Structure 1
């Protein structure tokens, strides 16, 4: 019995240091586990605070994306319909193109606003952003806005259109197109000129081709010794032979002035607008030849100097 008690005491003394060492080893491991757990919980909380709103908004994002794609498709179809309708209407091609551009911009702006509202963006913020952007753009592009307004004035008042030959801001040429900001013209020597719409709408416009017919005015000087009636008959005969000249309104020849060196005759002949310059050049050449054949002289400017006797005193 005594030996058994001694053995148990010895076993207890032997096992006591082992329990103490195990406790010392487990405690640091437990601290590491607790620290890692805290970090994981903190990281999970941060990620949750970041991604949870996105997860909550995910249905709205998907719906907004679908609506945006559908809206783009609808706008494309609307513009296609408007393009076909303008081709079958009597609307001027330049005006139709201009209106389509404005409608397209307005539709895109509405689509963006509606898409933002689907995402629960406050309308007050949208309106404030649009207003601020409008003020900034208005200050930066005040000249462009003037040209934009000029484009509207040109298209609705129609002082000129595509294909017209006009004189604007000292430039004469044929109108090729009227865009939102500029009017494009091509001069007779094939130079392209872009004139701001604000200048076009606010300046003087001379439209040479708006009317179907146009009058050619030419001046011819004959010597004082020549017969006016004969010269008038020669001019009328030349006009009758010109294929570009119209019989109605009837051509006219009258004396327009008694100049220093010649009697000036004014010839007025009507022709179609697209035949103005061929008729103009033909008459200049044919009248000169007819005058030469009939002895009608076109005098040079001259001055007669008379010398009188002077008193020697």
Structure 2
């Protein structure tokens, strides 16, 4: 059996020598994480790699560095790594049950990356929580809600529950429901409104606006007005444009 390397530079103070080596390993670990994160950012930016892969790669490298540092510290303090691996193998099933949620989130993160159904910068809704994805890791996904609240979602939630991706495609439908008074001719209203909406600069030419009757009530005829745009961040402004056109047309025809 090989002799262990004598790492104690202060034989008369064994604890101090071990403490110094551990501090050096911890400092080197932090530096390695910082440098790797910097290099990954530079490479992904240079080759225009999406941020989702950037975050997941940084997580993978970070945790790998932490594991290596932990094993080095164990070696410094005299723990037999081979014996530890055997022990971990013996208790692995127990630890697996205890950490099943963490492992499940980790695996879910890998599948989400592979499926490419959620990316950083997209707007999603899951469990009635809607927000913009700002970070994706192997365990969790972070979104920011319209109220500027930060929500951390375990990747298992995305894997097990249906979720809505509002920005997956390049064009989006803007809907507006309004009540049209009974004294206004619906056919004429639809014809004029569709023409006016089609002239709005944000409405896509290849997607015609339309007016659908939803129901009739004591106040008039409820209709749903639909048009298509391509900038999701301005959907609220587009909806205001539709409302303004409806208001002016009702005023003219009333």
- Tell me how large the CA RMSD over aligned residues is: 3.5
Q: Which runs of 5+ in 1 are unaligned?
A: 1-55, 296-313
Which residue matches 1:251?
209
Contact 2:135 2:141 in 1 (8 A): yes
Residue of 140, 145, 158 corresponding to 2:116: 158
Q: Distance in 1 between matches of 2:123 and 2:5?
A: 59
Q: Which has the higher helix share?
A: 1
Which residue matches 2:251?
292
Q: Distance in 2 between matches of 1:122 and 1:194?
A: 38
Change (3 A) 1:266 1:97: closer
Which residue matches 1:127?
85
Deviation at 1:243, TM superposition (A): 3.1
Contact 2:193 2:245 in 1 (8 A): no
Q: What SS does the aligned partner of 1:189 have?
A: coil
Q: Deviations over 1:208-242 (max 9, x none)?
A: 11111111223334344432232123312431453
Residue of 138, 156, 159 corresponding to 1:198: 156
Residue of 222, 242, 252 corresponding to 1:283: 242
Contact 1:86 1:96 in 2 (8 A): yes
Which residue matches 1:215?
173
Change (3 A) 1:135 1:242: same
Residue of 87, 90, 97 corresponding to 2:45: 87
Q: What SS does the aligned partner of 2:164 have?
A: strand
Deviation at 1:57, TM superposition (A): 4.2
Q: Which moved more, 1:139-148 or 1:286-295?
A: 139-148
Which residue matches 1:239?
197
Contact 1:60 1:119 in 2 (8 A): no
Q: What SS does the aligned partner of 1:256 have?
A: strand
Change (3 A) 1:145 1:233: same
Higher RCO (C-alpha under 8 Å, 6+ residues apart): 2
Residue of 171, 177, 184 corresponding to 2:142: 184
Which residue matches 1:304?
none
Which residue matches 2:185?
227
Aligned length: 236
Q: Which has the larger radius of gyration?
A: 1
TM-score, scaled to structure 1: 0.62
Contact 1:257 1:264 in 2 (8 A): yes
Q: Deviations over 1:189-221 (max 9, x none)?
A: 112222221112211110111111111223334
Q: Deviations over 1:86-121 (max 9, x none)?
A: 332343223222223223323553566588789997
Change (3 A) 1:212 1:123: same
Q: Deviations over 1:17-55 (max 9, x none)?
A: xxxxxxxxxxxxxxxxxxxxxxxxxxxxxxxxxxxxxxx
Deviation at 1:80, TM superposition (A): 5.3
Q: Deviations over 1:105-146 (max 9, x none)?
A: 235535665887899976641322333564454333322222
Change (3 A) 1:123 1:196: closer
Q: Which runs of 5+ in 2 are unaligned?
A: 10-20
Q: Distance in 2 between matches of 1:276 and 1:246?
A: 13
Asked if residue 173 in structure 1 is aligned to residue 131 in structure 2, the reply is: yes
